[in-house]
Amino acid sequence: MVSIRGIKTILAEITEADAEAILRLRNDPHNNKFLFQRPITPEEQISWIKKNSTDVRSKNFKVTDLNNEFKGTISIYNIENGRGEFGRYIVTNPVNAVEAEYLLLKYCFEDLALDAVYCQTNLENRSVWSQHLKLGFKEVGQKDVAVGSSATTMVKAIVQEITSEEFRNFDYEKIMRLIKHF
């Protein structure tokens, strides 16, 4: 099981024991309004965790603080041909959110040796996609994304990407100082 420790944040692979906390987070109306899904049941969450725990094309993490208090989720998935999709990202504490994103990118480029990471963020979720820009992502376009696996509702998403080279050349020192400060 992969576990990644930062200054204030830990990423640990999701297990079935995390289902209740994840369900509460994802079904919260404040969080769910920007997700590409409908509210889910406990059985659906557990089934999803079981199915995705064996998928070699994804790594799904819970985000905790250093006291192991659950703060959210973050993932890299759809990994193929040197690229992966960053998402399933909800973190309730801003410091843990920024550090979790940095730690995931570091893991993607250093441990998984990916060439690029991309994300699709609901266009209305301005705070998250602007955070991605501050962590080195570049805007590459927009697209319509379906809500849920069989949904008929479409939302506009901004597509962003960061390459391994861009990650290596980006100056994260200011961000790390801010994380240490809080």
Q: Where are the domains positioned within the chain?
A: 3-181
Range name among 10-19, 30-39, 123-132, 166-175 with the lowest pLDDT average: 30-39
Query: Which pLDDT tens digit goes with each residue over 117-161?
Result: 999 998 888 989 899 999 999 999 998 877 665 566 778 889 999
Strand segments (E) across the chain: 3-5, 9-13, 59-65, 70-80, 83-91, 116-122, 138-146, 154-163
Query: Which pLDDT tens digit goes with each residue over 27-82?
Result: 887 766 666 566 778 898 999 999 998 999 999 999 999 999 999 999 999 999 99
Band (pLDDT 50/70/90 cuts) for residue 16 is very high
On whether the pTM is more than 0.85, the answer is yes
**CA Rg value for the chain:** 16
Q: What is the pLDDT of residue 163?
A: 98
Q: What is the pLDDT of residue 148?
A: 61
The secondary structure of 55-77 as a DSSP string is: -TT-EEEEEEETT--EEEEEEEE
- Is 3-181 in CATH node 3.40.50.1820? no
Residue 113 has pLDDT above 90, yes or no: yes
Please name the amino acid found at residue 35: L
Query: Which pLDDT tens digit goes with each residue over 98-108?
Result: 999 999 999 99
Band (pLDDT 50/70/90 cuts) for residue 3 is very high
Q: What is the pLDDT of residue 13?
A: 96
Cα→Cα distances 35→1, 65, 133, Å = 27, 23, 19
Residue 163 CB neighbours (<10 A): 19
